[in-house]
Amino acid sequence: MRGLFVTGTDTGVGKSIVAAAICAALAARGERVAAFKPVVTGLAEPEGQFPPDHELLARAAGAGQSPVEVAPYSYDPPLSPHLAAELAGETIEPARLVAAARALAADADALIAEGVGGLLVPITPGYLIRDLARDLSLPVVVAARTGLGTINHTLLTVEALRARRVKRVKVVLMGQRIADPSAADNPAILRENLKNVGVCSVPYLGARALDGAALKKNVIRLKKTLAWVADPASFSPRSSERSEKSGKPKRLTEQKVR
């Protein structure tokens, strides 16, 4: 299977923005992209800045997927997947999730999977987002805030991945509308403490970052950064930060992810 698994240090850190931007960037390069999200919750909430994640990802990938094809399970309450399913009288089956992701990947050049909330959110009792990432055997991209608290949250997330022997990891620090004083220093501190993990920063992209035309502009604006994030070769242990001088990245499809 080829692709990436996008997770976050928490809910609302910009995980969906990262996943959608990667989908759009790869599609713009001519790759067939399949988007996948195991579970979507909160469908009964009032419409916000962005559409529901499975609709957003389907639109960004541009491959004609329906929202149902992107997300095998969906629920109305804005709750953790395990609880939303329990209230609906259902049980989320991990095997179904893995099979659905593999089926999508079989017909695409790249699968971009987005988790739900943070890495240790339970999908169903005894099965976490981390377990799904491990079972799919994809490199993991961790979206994180730039500001206060991100050092602890990001290091804990990476340690949780390493505890399950997930070693191909990158961190994308998402700029915030109002940056606190620590935001300028945190990227360097994280690089110092994550010597075998690539770390890059993305500026604040605006409240409507993923609206049609805005998404296209942001993909162009972040072309080099997104190319680095999506390059499987740069998940090597020596990759500590994005380099603008690294030359043209390989297509995501050129290297098989094992």
Catalytically active residues are: 37
Scanning the structure block, which residue is given the tokens 């990667």? 22
CA 131 distance to own-chain centroid: 15
Q: In what order do the strands lie in the sheet with 110-118?
A: 33-36, 110-118, 3-8, 140-145, 169-174, 198-202
Length of the chain: 258
What is the chain's alpha carbon radius of gyration, rounded to the nearest angstrom?
Answer: 17
